[in-house]
Amino acid sequence: MREQAGLFRVVIVAIVILVVLGALALSFYTVWLWFQNLQFSSVFLTMVISKILIGLAAALVFLLVVGINYYVARLYVKKTHPVSGGEGGISVEGLPISERGVRWAIGAFLIIVVLMIGSAASTKWSMILLYFHPKSFGISDPIFGRDVAFYVYSLPFYLFLKNWIMAFVVLSGVVATLLYTKGNLINMEAGTIQAQDQKVQLPTKLRIDPPARKHLSILGMIIVALLIWGYWLKAYGLLYSTGGPAFGASYTDIHVQLVAYRILMVVLGAFAICLAINMVRHRRGFLLVGLAGTMGAMVVAGFIIPSLVQKVVVRPNELDMERPYIAYNIENTRRAYNLDRIQEKDFIINENLTMADIVKNRLTIENIRIWDERPLEETYDQLQSIRLYYLFSGIDVDRYFLNGQYRQVTLSAREISIDQLPLQARTWVNRHLKFTHGYGLTLSPVNQVTQEGLPNLLIKDLPPVTRIRGIEIKRPEIYYGEKTKNYVIVQTKEKEFDYPKGDSNVYTIYQGDGGVLVNSFLRRLLFALTFRSTDILFTHYLTPQSRIMFYRTIDKRVKKIAPFLQFDRDPYLVIADGHLFWMLDSYTTTSMYPYSARMSKKFGLEINYIRNSVKAVVNAYTGKVDFYVIDETDPIIQSFMEIFPDLFRPIDEMPESLKSHIRYPRDLFDIQVAMYRSYHMQDVQVFYNKEDLWEVPNELYADTQQEMVPYYIIIKPPGEKREEFLLMLPFTPSKKANMIAWLAARSDMPNYGDLLVYKLPKDKLIFGPMQVEARIDQQTEISRELTLWGQKGSRVIRGNIMAIPIEQSFLYAEPVYLQATQESKPEVEPTGRIARSSLGRPERPTRSIALPELKRVIVAYGNELVMRENLASALAAIFEGIELPKETMPGERVEKRSIQDLVTSALDQYKRAQKCLKAGDWAGYGKALDRMKRILEELARSGKSVPSKR
């Protein structure tokens, strides 16, 4: 019976091991085929082999450390207290458990622990590989003089090694102590105590036999040695201290805490000598005194003295004593976040723009964005979804040459959402064989609007119709995108749905090489198990040429290939050489840059160093992924390039058609903005007192106040010769609303990545965004009109306000949209398209059937504030004799200026003339009358009007 029970256990263990190994092999082979299709086999093997070797190494070290100590303890127990023959066993609640059963239980437990240790250690594979491939930063820390590479590469590895070895040794000590206690090598000797005229036998003295004492003393010395190493590492950890007025080691840390650590290292060394003496001569009192002294030294030197020095000596003289350490923090934080590369310039405000300035900056005026991303996404959905299973995956902002003109545009990919199909149509064939891809995109200029108040679509419809010379869409199919979450199988006997055409559909067969071939029964079985679908195994639609596509969402795809990089939240669509691509920014980060302030909750981890080192590009049709290194000066990416030589390509190999669409990433800009609010202050005293703290201003969106977000814009930076595509954001002083500076990041080559900050004069009031918003609310005519529109049944949406620098002045523009609030219930079930907004809007089970229409544009300049039907009219109302260029884009609708608009403009000039008259400004009075005369003459001319862009 016992033999049968033993055999049964062996079979059970074998089955469990086979199941686990089978699952691992299944997962391994599936992902291997996927990497192989992308020609990244070496990348996969490097990661897998590294994880296996690191896991095995950790498990082996654990087994050696614990196993050796277990063997030694067991050997001592057997020698001291040999067990007589017979079947050894123990009893639990009367149930006999054989020694073999105990061994099986211990063995099973040990296997589980070893697997957990190996698995946990393997997650640190990238950190360990970086340790073996360090690259110098060329910068030393100001305290110990070590290269920053030591802190980024070596220190994390040493801390990892110390903690794991400590855990193994402590666990070994626990195991040895249990064995010695069971074998009576450790026990409590009984003594007699007199209590109430009675003698009571109680354990009063701990007895440890010499073999156990020697063994445990050796383990104690190893633990002490590890503690000494830990204090050596803690000294370097002081450079991440948060106890001072700035991040990094403070006066107390360097002059007291560091000395305390060194004293404690000596004290621990003395205690190790006590343990060594205890091995030879048992002196319990001597050992206890040494232990008490060590613990006391840790408390006094490690906590009490530093706290007293901080309170009594440093705090009353904090600025003087902390000055050099605050300077270290400022210098290293600016360097770690690339803030030291920001070029600071003065921006002298004149507010004297003329018609000549407007004409000179014509390209800037023509690219003022009056389409906000949020209402535009809804408009695209309503106008261009065409069928219920299509949706637009957010709005991307980019720039293209449209018929020779440098234009800022918005575009969005038309992706397919199987969840929008009726329930009865969500069959396996439809979900995975037929509805496999999205189709085409929609593109419109940021500044153009039709007579109906809608965007002027230059690329639209199915198949895509483009009205832009030089831009064509040869491959509009989107197999890889932001919403492509399910797997699909292409090149099957079932033709794929391509796009709708009237009352019928157009079908296609995939012509690319994306996806893994399903050309054998073994692979069918493999993918059936992987995706838990018997349909893959039994369907008759597959052919030897069939390919299965998975990991199709852009973020998951790139993270699977390069999990050691951090990625931007927003991939954006690019048209290049007739194909569609997704571009996604990726970053190298660390939290171990010395003296650099840390930022938490970014990318789901804490960081204090970041570089936008890589641009990832994904082909929307084939799924091919390329990683282009754009910052080869970054030491961390240099290390990864050495580890994965086949993964990265230099930026020079990126086609020019893609390179022209590289843009500065918003996530990185957000991080730099957050840090620059404080770290633009380089004077230690100013920084300490937070005298010049900046804030990101608020703005109104709809009727809600929110923090202003960075926006892309085409302008001519002051002092430059041509317009550029920038990402910019204004700043205001802390707790004030006026503008104090604006930060811009350049996107066009060869100046990509350059940061410019323009500081405004502090002795002059320059309106900030919320001050302009307040002026809009206080303007009687505008406020009355907005209130009238916002009556029941309509919703007024005030879009993002934009501060536009032109010459030495600022122009503000804010679009106003009107949307009927009429809503309809979803036809299928409550999973409507609007619920999945990519721009952070709340999910809604219903969606509006009314389009947001651009109703007005508000423009503010200096003390002037007007609201007109379009941007041209608003500018014409402010600037003398301005006429926007008569050239129009293909298909752009040119409308006549309404009589009401001309009358309003004439009235504005009359009011301006009266204002100049009261102020005694006769020159201004004459100019206003001249402008009013021209407007009245234009009004009188029958059938003639000034062309203006909507």
Per-residue pLDDT tens digits for 456-495? 999 999 999 998 888 999 999 999 999 999 999 999 999 9
100 pLDDT band, cuts 50/70/90, is low
Alpha helices, H only, 801-898 = 871-878
Instruction: Report yes or no: 483 and 418 within 8 Å, Cβ to Cβ.
Output: no
Above 60 in pLDDT, residue 831?
no
As a whole number, mean pLDDT of residues 302-316 equals 89
Instruction: Report yes or no: 177 and 216 within 8 Å, Cβ to Cβ.
Output: yes
* DSSP characters over 727-796: EEEEEEETT--S--EEEEEE-STTSTT-EEEEEPPTTS----HHHHHHHHHH-HHHHHHHHHHTSTTEEE
- The larger pLDDT score, comparing residue 328 to residue 790, is at 328
* DSSP characters over 98-143: EHHHHHHHHHHHHHHHHHHHHHHHHTTHHHHHHHHS----S-B-TT
Instruction: Report yes or no: 751 and 709 within 8 Å, Cβ to Cβ.
Output: no
Q: What is the pLDDT of residue 115?
A: 86
DSSP E strands in 593-723: the ranges are: 599-602, 605-607, 609-619, 625-629, 648-650, 694-695, 698-701, 704-707, 711-715
> Among 296-310, 582-596, 795-809, which range has the highest average pLDDT?
582-596
Q: What is the pLDDT of residue 844?
A: 36
The percent of residues in the chain predicted with pLDDT above 70, rounded, is 85
Alpha helices, H only, 240-283 = 251-252, 258-280
Q: CA dist 821 to 384, 578, 793, 806, 849, Å?
A: 20, 39, 5, 37, 8
Residue for token pair 């961390």 = 636
Q: What is the pLDDT of residue 331?
A: 97
CA–CA distance, 588 with 616 (Å, rounded to integer): 13
Instruction: Report yes or no: 514 and 36 within 8 Å, Cβ to Cβ.
Output: no
Above 60 in pLDDT, residue 897?
no
CA–CA distance, 514 with 547 (Å, rounded to integer): 7
As a whole number, mean pLDDT of residues 341-366 equals 87
**H or E element: which one contains 191?**
strand 186-195
CA–CA distance, 612 with 359 (Å, rounded to integer): 36
Residue 473 backbone phi and psi in degrees, to 5: -110, 100
- Region of poorest pLDDT, from 246-260, 809-823, 831-845: 831-845
- Region of poorest pLDDT, from 38-47, 232-241, 722-731, 894-903: 894-903
Residue whose C-alpha is closest to residue 858's, from 814, 901, 817, 904: 814
Q: How many CA atoms lie within 13 A of 315 on its CB side?
A: 8
- The larger pLDDT score, comparing residue 203 to residue 31, is at 31
Q: For residue 318, what are the contacts with CB-CB under 8 A and spacing of at least 6?
A: 245, 688
Tell me the residue length of the chain.
950
Above 50 in pLDDT, residue 947?
no
Above 50 in pLDDT, residue 892?
no
Residue whose C-alpha is closest to residue 564's, from 530, 524, 613: 613
Amino acid at residue number 421: L
Alpha-carbon dihedral of residues 611, 572, 372, 668, nearest 10 degrees? -10
As a whole number, mean pLDDT of residues 45-72 equals 93
| Residue 475 DSSP code | B
Above 90 in pLDDT, residue 876?
no
| Residue 833 DSSP code | G
pLDDT tens column, 512-556: 999 999 999 999 999 999 999 999 999 999 999 999 999 999 999
Q: For residue 92, what are the contacts with CB-CB under 8 A and spacing of at least 6?
A: none
pLDDT tens column, 141-194: 999 999 999 999 999 999 999 999 999 999 999 988 888 887 777 776 655 555
As a whole number, mean pLDDT of residues 569-590 equals 96
Q: What is the pLDDT of residue 6?
A: 59
Euclidean distance between the first and final Cα of the chain, in Å? 92
Residue 757 backbone phi and psi in degrees, to 5: -125, 130
Residue for token pair 């994306």 = 514
- Region of poorest pLDDT, from 433-442, 780-789, 913-922, 939-948: 939-948
- The answer for 932, left when phi > 0, alpha when psi is -120 to 50, beta otherwise, is alpha
1 pLDDT band, cuts 50/70/90, is low
pLDDT tens column, 684-710: 999 999 999 999 999 988 878 899 999
- In a 3-state reduction of DSSP, which class is residue 928? helix
Instruction: Report yes or no: 784 and 856 within 8 Å, Cβ to Cβ.
Output: no
- Region of poorest pLDDT, from 48-62, 722-736, 788-802: 788-802
Q: What is the pLDDT of residue 78?
A: 82
- In a 3-state reduction of DSSP, which class is residue 669? helix
Q: What is the pLDDT of residue 830?
A: 35
Tokens of 908: 């504005």
Instruction: Report yes or no: 570 and 394 within 8 Å, Cβ to Cβ.
Output: yes
Residue 346 backbone phi and psi in degrees, to 5: -85, 140
852 pLDDT band, cuts 50/70/90, is confident
Tokens of 465: 């119709």
SS3 content of the chain, % helix, strand, coil (to 5): 45, 25, 30
Average pLDDT, the chain: 85
CA–CA distance, 620 with 819 (Å, rounded to integer): 34
pLDDT tens column, 729-788: 999 999 999 999 999 999 999 999 999 999 999 888 899 999 999 999 998 889 888 888
- Asked, as a colleague might, if the bond just before 826 is cis with ω within 30 of 0, I would say no
